[in-house]
Amino acid sequence: MLSGPTEFVFRVFTTVPEFQVLLFLLFLLFYLMILCGNTAIIWVVCTHMYFFLSNLSFVEICYTTVVVPLMLSNIFGAQKPIPLAGCGAQMFFFLTLGGADCFLLAIMAYDRYVMLGGAVGLALFLSLQLTALIFTLPFCGHRQEINHFLCNVPPIQRLACAAIRVHQAVLYVVSILVLTVPFLLICVSYVFITCAILSIHSAEGRRQAFSTCSSHLTVVLLQYGCCALAYLRPQSSSSADEDRQFTLVYTFITPLLNPLIYTLRNKDVKGALEKSAQYQRDT
């Protein structure tokens, strides 16, 4: 009989206690670094010029917090079930904040305040519709094991006991709107930025500008590339283990790199951090 599950459990990374401790400490360290780096940016950046940077940092704090605490609690010991409603809530917030993150990166390339509300609203709407659609799928049994560390769309779809062609098509459409369109907009902006850099007469100025842009572009490619590999590949050519690896990248690596890139490569933000540190020492 096909029925909806009442709870899910996450498959553990490893059953070796020594590796469990190592993974716990590693992921905890990454999480604390993400919290500290992004909180520092929000704390010191108070100007309208860096309004989007503060918002990006806030979104990435929320985005990782939706995933990491629950993930850390499941590394040790027996599998801990998550109820159906909890799984749906995690999927919704993860998709909403992840979509907002992708839209923000594109909006930052054009510095358009008016686009922010619409982009967040679109991410909210698409995430709600996609989450509701995924949980209309029939499942076998009352407890399902998710081969992942969070309730994400691809691993939940793999548990379905029915055809998922319609659901997969909707996922592709949403992914194109959230990933492909913002990425193409960023690429167009970088074409104009490159033309502007080439018009700089100073060789040293061109070198510094290209260095900064290449750092930003590397993080953008890493995030959108891993997201595309997780959401836009057909399930027949992907595996659950690969999905976990790609998700680890855009859950930990890009939120960790963004504060480093924007502080170390930006004199204003770097200066604000130094002034804040000096003020704390003086007081």
User: What would the pLDDT profile of 105-162 be if each residue is shown by its tens digit?
Assistant: 888 877 665 566 677 888 999 999 999 999 988 887 777 889 899 999 999 998 888 8
Q: Note if the pTM is more than 0.85.
A: yes
Distance CA 52, CA 57 (A): 9
Q: Regarding predicted confidence, which is higher, 43 or 2?
A: 43
Distance CA 250, CA 247 (A): 5
Residue 261 has pLDDT above 50, yes or no: yes
Burial of 164 (0-12, 13-18, 19+ CB in 10 A): middle
β-strand partners of 160:
139
Any residues with CB less than 8 A from the CB of 146 and at least 6 apart, and which? 8, 9, 10, 11, 155, 156, 159
Spell out where the chain has E strands: 2-3, 7-10, 82-83, 139-140, 143-146
Distance CA 53, CA 269 (A): 10
Report pLDDT for 118. 73
Per residue in 218-249, pLDDT tens? 888 999 999 999 999 887 777 788 889 999 99
Residue 206 has pLDDT above 80, yes or no: no
Q: Which domains, from first to last, does the chain contain?
A: 2-282 (1.20.1070.10)
